[in-house]
Amino acid sequence: MTDSTAALLARPELALADDALVLSHRLGEWAGHAPVLEEEVALANIALDLLGQARALYGELGDEDELAYLREERQFRNCQLTEQPNGDFATTIVRQLFFSRWQELLYGQLTDRPLAVKAVKEVAYHRDHAEHWTLRLGDGTPESHERAQRAVDDLWRYTGELFQPLEGLTVEGHPVDWDTLRVSWDGYVADVLDRATLRVPESPRQSGWRAGAGRQGLHTESFGRMLAEMQHLHRSHPGARW
Amino acid sequence: MTTVLPEQGTDAEAQEFQRAFDTAVAADERIEPRDWMPDDYRATLVRQIAQHAHSEIIGMQPEANWITRAPSLRRKAILLAKVQDEAGHGLYLYSAAETLGVNREELLEKLHSGRQKYSSIFNYPTLTWADVGAIGWLVDGAAITNQVPLCRCSYGPYARAMVRVCKEESFHQRQGYELLLELSRGTEAQHAMAQDAVDRWWWPSLMMFGPPDDESAHSAQSMAWKIKRHSNDELRQRFVDICVPQAEALGLTLPDPDLRWDTESGHWEYGAIDWSEFKAVLRGHGPCNEQRLSQRRAAHESGAWVRAAASAYARKRQPTGARNATGPSPAAEQHVTAGSEGGRPDTDEGPRSREADPR
């Protein structure tokens, strides 16, 4: 990467693309391990949508493979929520609920971008899928309830980062309305958790890193390992076409 | 979904049902779920369709093994879509099997306990990225050669599932071929990777057509019922004839020193297949048999609480009367898998390993 790297890394589209790529990768890890066949289809489907979004956004910025495979951990700008390991099915579902609702609200605002118009339909489906499973798990058996609550509690600390404004992200020349986004997100999540008989945690909504850590290229430990797996083959054959 | 069976009537009635069935098959008419059919025909179909479904599900594993390492985003998207399609094919096929009066849970249970088989090919490991291409080109290619005639199979639901499956498989096969072509024309290391993959997958792919005709115990009956349309050896020959020129176009060789064009027959003659390897893999002694089955079982077992949650949630939303009538446990797994009716007792007689490989 060249001199323009710094400028490129500051582009808000890159952060959105990294979110989509990284979460897509995590969902891809489920293939062959899902609890029912229908979920093999659903999780792969969501992974594919997100990968498509990532590719479209990378395409606006440069070469998609160079951006995905040749940046290092500190140059990725995805929020930490998306890189969290899959854990059990409840963790995956709650991560998806938190992220998809955020994406749905954000893309809903980005009305001047053709990608967002397409993606908002996809993410509404992702959110719907996660919402239904959150209800089933929260209000299912004692075990599923406990697992769902634990997932909510564990992931809560990564939700604050979602509402740190992405510098430079605008709608028809105006900045995105992050406050409205946060208020809508909070209301929605509180309602779904309530219907799922789950509690909204009172714990902090930020990890030990300062807010916006993922956006600054400061990630959690599992992320480096994820990138190592993702990039290994591409990096082993410099310049090759696939 | 319910199967209408004749009353236990007189011999004359039974003969009449048999005659109507034979006439329909002879006239190339489709047998549908509510039609009378011989018990053995039903059992054969249940076994074949279930094993076909199991192959789709187990077959996700060797390819999913490379999703997180795919070397470009385009290839990653193609591979994800393919694995998703395979899960979808599994769903169509389990649905087709359910029209015969079994349910998905009991079929899965048979897969997990090793009483029903899946295609032997998926017991081979995917060691490099090129294996993803070799599977697309050779394994999907062999599957298509096997399955296209099944689009005309006498049992309607199976034939219709195959039409959809074959369309998607053809697409996958093209993509696998294209992946190998890119590698073959790429760097020296990429070319070597492609050749190595073809060397490892060629013979196992030929084995996918099942044992030679003189050792295939159930072929004759399946052909008479028009479940099968061509013999194992016929299909295998057709596959070899298609692959040889394709390998040449790819710039790759096939690992068979005896491969030669026979002008007299107009076919490619190929070397002897190592049937002892095939038998060992079918008996469970291939490179990945244990791993494939244990991953499948682990996914199912670690998902049990999720299925239980979905059932419990659904039960809480049922009207009280229905809740009492259904009772807690039989509905438990059926909710998630939507509407299977386990009306008929098990018709499967366990694996018959001499049969053609199901996929």
Name the pLDDT band for A98 (thresholds 50, 70, 90): very high
The CB-based long-range contact list for A32-35 (8 Å cut-off, 24+ gap) reads A32/B60, A32/B61, A32/B64, A32/B83, A32/B295, A32/B299, A33/B295, A33/B298, A33/B299, A33/B302, A34/A89, A34/B299, A34/B303, A35/A89, A35/B299, A35/B300, A35/B302, A35/B303, A35/B304, A35/B306, A35/B307
Mean pLDDT, chain B, integer: 89
Chain A CB contacts of B303 below 8 Å: 34-36, 39, 89
Chain B CB contacts of A47 below 8 Å: 80
Q: Do B68 and A144 touch (CB under 8 A)?
A: no
Residue B41 has pLDDT above 60, yes or no: yes
Q: Do B69 and A139 touch (CB under 8 A)?
A: no
Tell which of B57, B58, B63, B76 to mutate to test the A interface (max A CBs under 10 Å). Answer: B76
List of domains in chain A: 3-236 (1.20.1260.10)
Query: pTM of this prediction?
Result: 0.91
Q: Do A44 and B83 touch (CB under 8 A)?
A: yes
Residue B333 has pLDDT above 60, yes or no: no
Q: Would you state the pLDDT for residue A210?
A: 67
The residue count of chain A comes to 242
Name the pLDDT band for A204 (thresholds 50, 70, 90): confident
For residue B209, give the DSSP letter: T
B291/A contact by beta carbon, under 8 A: no
Separation in Å, CA of A127 to nearest CA in chain B: 18
Q: Would you state the pLDDT for residue A46?
A: 98
Most confident of A163-177, A186-200, B308-322: A186-200
Residue B3 has pLDDT above 60, yes or no: no
For A131-162, what is each residue's pLDDT tens digit? 999 999 999 999 999 999 999 999 999 999 99
Per the model's pLDDT, the better-predicted residue between B45 and B333 turns out to be B45
Please say whether the beta carbons of A170 and A176 come within 8 A: yes
Average pLDDT value for residue range A213-232: 96
For B268-286, what is each residue's pLDDT tens digit? 999 999 999 999 999 999 9
Average pLDDT value for residue range A93-108: 98
The residue count of chain B comes to 359
A-to-B residue pairs, Cβ atoms closer than 8 angstroms: 147
Residue B215 has pLDDT above 70, yes or no: yes
For residue B31, give the DSSP letter: B
Name the pLDDT band for B348 (thresholds 50, 70, 90): very low
Work out whether strand B260-262 and strand A170-171 pair parallel, antiparallel, or are unpaired. Answer: unpaired
Q: Do A144 and B94 touch (CB under 8 A)?
A: no
Name the pLDDT band for B327 (thresholds 50, 70, 90): very low
Q: Is A203 helix (H, G, I), strand (E, B) or coil?
A: coil
Separation in Å, CA of A151 to nearest CA in chain B: 14
Residue B330 has pLDDT above 50, yes or no: no
For B69-102, what is each residue's pLDDT tens digit? 999 999 999 999 999 999 999 999 999 999 999 9
Chain B CB contacts of A54 below 8 Å: 73
For B26-38, what is each residue's pLDDT tens digit? 999 999 999 999 9
B64/A contact by beta carbon, under 8 A: yes
Separation in Å, CA of B344 to nearest CA in chain A: 23
Q: Which two tokens stand for residue B55?
A: 């192959």
Window A:170-209, CB contacts with B under 8 Å:
none
Please say whether the beta carbons of B334 and B108 come within 8 A: no
Residue B225 has pLDDT above 50, yes or no: yes
ipTM rounded to 2 decimals: 0.96
Residue A182 has pLDDT above 60, yes or no: yes
Q: Would you state the pLDDT for residue B124?
A: 98
Q: Do B87 and A140 touch (CB under 8 A)?
A: no
With 0-12 / 13-18 / 19 or more C-beta atoms within 10 angstroms meaning exposed / middle / buried, residue B71 is buried
Chain A CB contacts of B76 below 8 Å: 28, 51
Residue B351 has pLDDT above 50, yes or no: no
